[in-house]
């Protein structure tokens, strides 16, 4: 055990306890003061107390890590060398049983704690430091252990730095990792891991696809679970198709919830092919709409020149071959969108009318990825497009004045003091509570495109003093874009060679060449 680290963590815990004591006294005594608003003072003190208590719990978890890892090292060092694999296993079992009994938990839980303590104390220093400082919770630390599993040392360090080192070259955008609810942090960490895993996502997907299956698990009260392990594109398409059909059945005369309707629709399609009754509605009334899966494929990946993952709305990175297949099959919601060629961020599409067009709604889905309320997981297809500043109050219908809250948080905006604000072309709006506290919204982690070696080789023959394309600053066109991009394109006589009709009517939203020329 590193005694210095333990002492520093203990001092941080003591400081938290002292701060909590002061907050408790303030919360209890504020009602007897001559303050102009004692109730608000008490409410603020309670919220501050909850925040400090969360930091204290994180620091206590860091102490548990230090003690668990320290006991494991001491016990193994004092034990006689194992003479066989069986003896080594017996020593591990004895060690785990000791910790389980001390903590009054199962041996499985104790074993997980020892494994997590080992990883945090040896290979994840930034995570353990953030836990000791109270900047992340124990749940965040466990997720970091899970998502760095099977990564090499460099990969684990890169994932840590991306989320926990604000000075890292490719630090995560938006609110800090500790400000994300654990489920959202896991989604972002998994996305980064998929993009940067040393083994190609194609190889990992092919290996996992061979394990696809449907499972049946009996449950209580005459119920059971039926689950399917499928390629992400199939699962996302099936989920959207079921949801769309279930929503079409909702109405004043329909008593079933959306969740119940999803279950009834799925059972109807699986058991009857839509020819018999299901619940209190006939299967013939259940429409069978085409799936609408938003798939964003990098241009070079679409052309087969790179192996960058595509992004599936509501899921995350998928193999580029799956993205190309969805595009080739004519996925109806595939959106060709103008993106910044240096940092991968989409660009704003301006609008002047009140009506929010389909293209702008799709753009909102790309910018936000989900309902922007902190911690909400509701995906884009179920959300509302909403003016942050009402049109009647002078708000424009531009991307910087739009959000896509889910129904629940849309109602929250109009029926309480919660208000969204601070949207930009690349950032979803954060939310300010009735207590005056602002909570940042999660942001998608865009990354610069990975250029294939053939294209990189074309940049090697440049004039002396011309900036290296690999050092371009992020942002549209960057500050060191080569001079040839500022020159007008050459003129060609197309009189006798007319171009074929463009199959993509919105192609200008996909390529940034006009922006280059204008710049």
261-312 pLDDT tens trace: 999 999 888 887 654 444 444 444 444 444 455 666 676 777 777 777 877 7
Is the per-residue pLDDT at 232 higher than 70?
yes
Average confidence score pLDDT of the chain? 76
Alpha-carbon distances of 23 from 46, 220, 433, rounded to whole Å: 7, 46, 21
pLDDT digits (tens, 9 = 90+) for 54-82: 999 999 999 999 999 999 999 888 888 88
* 24 vs 132 pLDDT, higher one: 132
Helix residue spans in 169-296 (DSSP H): 182-196, 201-209, 232-248, 258-272
Q: Pick 267 or 485 by higher pLDDT.
A: 267
Which DSSP symbol is given to 325?
H
Q: Of 8, 106, 12, nearest to 59 (Cα)?
A: 12
pLDDT over threshold 60, residue 192: yes
Q: How many CB atoms lie within 10 A of CB 475?
A: 11
The single-letter DSSP state of residue 181 is -
Residues in Cβ contact with 173 at an 8 Å cutoff, skipping those fewer than 6 apart = 427, 443, 444, 445, 446
User: In this predicted structure, what is the pLDDT of residue 129?
Assistant: 93
Percent of the chain with pLDDT over 70: 72
Average pLDDT over residues 9-28: 76
The pLDDT value given to residue 194: 86
Q: Which residues are paired to 133 by β-bridges?
A: none
pLDDT at 243 over 70: yes
Given pLDDT bands bounded at 50, 70 and 90, which one contains residue 465?
A: low
Is the pTM value of this prediction over 0.85?
A: no
Say whether pLDDT at 477 is over 80: no
Mean pLDDT in residue range 23-31: 66
Question: Is the distance from CB of 345 to CB of 512 less than 8 angstroms?
Answer: no
Per-residue pLDDT at 221: 76
Residue by residue, DSSP assigns 420-477 as EE---SSS--EEE-TTS-EEPPP----------HHHHHHTSS--TTPPPGGGPPSSTT
Give residue 218's pLDDT.
81
Tens of pLDDT, residue by residue over 113-133, are: 999 999 999 999 999 999 999
pLDDT-derived band at 502 (thresholds 50, 70, 90) equals very low
Round to whole Å and give the CA distance between 350 and 509: 12
Q: In the predicted model, is pLDDT for residue 406 greater than 60?
A: yes
**Residue 348: predicted pLDDT:** 38
Q: Are 412 and 433 a contacting pair, CB within 8 Å? A: no
pLDDT, one tens digit per residue, over 340-376 is 445 555 443 333 445 666 667 777 777 887 888 888 8
429 vs 464 pLDDT, higher one: 429
Separation of alpha carbons 126 and 159, rounded Å: 10
* Per-residue buried b or exposed e for 339-377, using 16+ beta carbons within 10 Å of the residue's own CB: bbbbbbbbbebebeeeebeeebebbbbbbbbbbbbbebe
Q: Assess whether pLDDT exceeds 90 at residue 8.
A: no
Q: Which sign, positive or negative, has the C-alpha torsion 489, 495, 497, 501?
A: positive
pLDDT, position 400: 84
Cα angle 314, 320, 321 (rounded to 5 degrees) comes to 115
What's the pLDDT tens digit per position in 299-338? 677 777 777 787 776 677 888 887 777 766 655 544 444 3
């Amino acid at each position: 055990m590193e005694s210095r680290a333990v002492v520093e963590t203990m001092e941080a815990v003591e400081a938290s306890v002292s701060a909590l004591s002061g907050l408790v006294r303030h919360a209890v005594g504020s009602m007897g003061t001559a303050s102009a608003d004692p109730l608000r003072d008490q409410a603020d003190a309670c919220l501050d107390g909850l925040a400090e208590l969360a930091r204290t719990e994180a620091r206590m978890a860091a102490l548990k890590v230090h003690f668990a890892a320290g006991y494991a090292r001491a016990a193994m060092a004092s034990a006689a060398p194992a003479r066989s694999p069986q003896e080594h296993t017996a020593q591990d079992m004895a060690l785990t049983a000791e910790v389980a009994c001390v903590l009054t938990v199962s041996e499985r839980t104790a074993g997980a704690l020892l494994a997590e303590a080992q990883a945090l104390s040896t290979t994840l220093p930034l995570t353990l430091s953030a836990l000791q400082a109270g900047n992340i919770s124990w749940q965040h630390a466990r997720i970091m252990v899970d998502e760095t599993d099977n990564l090499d040392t460099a990969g684990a360090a890169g994932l840590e730095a991306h989320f926990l080192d604000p000075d890292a070259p490719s630090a995560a955008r938006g609110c800090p990792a500790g400000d994300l609810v654990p489920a959202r942090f896991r989604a972002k960490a998994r996305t980064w891991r998929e993009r940067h895993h040393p083994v190609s996502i194609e190889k990992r997907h092919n290996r996992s696809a061979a394990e696809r299956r449907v499972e049946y698990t009996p449950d209580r009260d005459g119920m059971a679970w039926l689950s399917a392990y499928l390629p992400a594109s199939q699962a996302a398409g099936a989920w959207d198709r079921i949801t769309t059909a279930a929503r079409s059945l909702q109405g004043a005369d329909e008593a079933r919830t959306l969740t119940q309707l999803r279950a009834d629709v799925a059972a109807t399609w699986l058991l009857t092919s839509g020819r018999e009754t299901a619940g209190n509605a006939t299967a013939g009334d259940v429409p069978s709409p085409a799936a609408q899966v938003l798939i964003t494929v990098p241009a070079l990946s679409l052309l087969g020149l790179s192996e960058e993952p595509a992004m599936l709305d509501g899921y995350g990175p998928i193999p580029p071959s799956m993205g190309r297949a969805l595009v080739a099959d004519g996925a109806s919601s595939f959106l060709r969108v103008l993106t910044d060629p240096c940092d991968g961020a989409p660009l704003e599409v301006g609008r002047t009318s009140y009506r929010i067009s389909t293209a702008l709604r799709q753009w909102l889905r790309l910018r936000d990825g989900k309902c922007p309320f902190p911690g909400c997981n509701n995906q884009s297809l179920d959300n509302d497009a909403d003016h942050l500043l009402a049109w009647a109050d002078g708000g424009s219908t531009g991307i910087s004045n739009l959000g896509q809250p889910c129904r629940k948080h849309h109602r929250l905006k109009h029926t309480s003091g919660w208000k969204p604000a601070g949207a930009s072309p690349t950032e979803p709006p954060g939310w300010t509570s009735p207590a005056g506290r602002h909570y940042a919204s999660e942001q998608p982690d865009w990354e610069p495109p990975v250029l294939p070696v053939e294209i990189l080789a074309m940049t090697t023959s440049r004039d002396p003093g011309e900036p290296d394309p690999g050092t371009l600053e992020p942002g549209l066109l960057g500050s060191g874009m080569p001079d040839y991009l500022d020159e007008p394109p050459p003129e060609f006589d197309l009189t006798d060679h007319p171009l074929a009709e463009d199959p993509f009517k919105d192609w200008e939203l996909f390529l940034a060449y006009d922006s280059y020329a204008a710049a």
